[in-house]
Amino acid sequence: MAERMGFFTDTSICIGCKACEVACKEWNQLPDDGFVFEATSYDNTAALGASTWRHVAFIEQQPVWMPDGDPMSHGGPVPHSGPMSHGGPMPDGGSMPHGGESVFEVGRDGRWLMSSDVCKHCTNAGCLDVCPTGAIFRTEFGTVVVQPDICNGCGYCVPACPFGVIDRREGDGRAWKCTMCYDRLRGGLEPACAKACPTDSIQFGPLDELRERAAARVDTLHAAGHTEARLYGESPGDGVGGMGAFFLLLDEPEVYGLPPDPVVPTRDLPAMWGWAGAAIATMAAAVAASFLGGRSR
């Protein structure tokens, strides 16, 4: 088997250009899934789906003050908090009351968070576990791929993904998701999204090497004062056994629409089958004992 390959997405240098989305659609010949203006974001694709295998999220954060210790926000609470100097200027030109705090320290004008999301190619992949036809398989590169010519459209894989990545295409019924450009990998090429990324926010390579590179990047950001930088999905000890596509984030996972503690729904299947087997063996032993006891009488 070849060395396990993966993605490391450094969101701190993503510029939101969506070149990865375009490259993914062009290479994989994915249909247009509609451009929807949601009135809450400049993002025009909104989420991953059957025809969007790479999605760049636009997360606009505005500084919000808490004058009396009570959190305030526009449209809902903003997760990250940190103090600001007392008596600082307010957006309307007034001054912030003494004792006030900003919900996050991002500067007077707020900030944008950009993040290119993708299938995580989990070590313990729930979609693969539940597929009844063998349409989903693990490749020699350690990636998880759906074979559309074998998929029967049952949809079992959709709720089995803790990230909501895999989906069925309308008018088709079959499940689709990122393949990490399996055809390109077999030809010795990097995935189209990583190839197109102008800032190297999306990095592709051997997973162990990417983890080392990511840890060094976090250390660099921390040394520069960006203590909020953290890795998401790099640990083999998480609820999915480690992700083949992991991220460097500048805020809590929930801000990016990622579950804080993802757990593969099929995690307990081996134990459940063990319990079922033990119960069947016990019942069989009881029936046999009853049968033999009846014959002896």
How large is the C-alpha radius of gyration of the chain?
24
CA distances from 84 to 73, 109, 225 (A): 16, 13, 16
Task: Give residue 90's pLDDT band: very low, low, confident or very high (50, 70, 90).
Answer: very low
CA distance 272 to 274: 5
Task: Give residue 40's pLDDT band: very low, low, confident or very high (50, 70, 90).
Answer: low
Lowest average pLDDT, out of 79-83, 132-136, 240-244, goes to 79-83
Task: Judge residue 114's burial from the number of C-beta atoms within 10 Å of its C-beta, 0-12 exposed, 13-18 middle, 19 or more buried.
Answer: buried
Number of Cα atoms under 13 Å in the Cβ half of residue 44: 8
Mean pLDDT of 119-132: 96
Task: Give residue 294's pLDDT band: very low, low, confident or very high (50, 70, 90).
Answer: low
pLDDT tens string 207-234: 999 999 999 999 999 999 999 999 999 9
- Both structure tokens of 230: 């953290």
Residue 77 has pLDDT above 90, yes or no: no
This model's pTM is above 0.85: no
CA distance 98 to 76: 23
pLDDT tens string 24-35: 999 999 998 766
pLDDT for 296 equals 58
Pairing relationship of beta strands 144-146 and 136-138 according to DSSP bridges: antiparallel
pLDDT for 209 equals 97
Three-state DSSP class for residue 159: helix
pLDDT for 274 equals 54
Closest to 229 (Cα-Cα) out of 237, 218, 238, 240: 218
- Both structure tokens of 233: 């999905």
Mean pLDDT of 127-145: 97
pLDDT for 41 equals 72
| Residue 104 and residue 82 in contact, taking contact as beta carbons nearer than 8 Å | yes
pLDDT for 82 equals 35
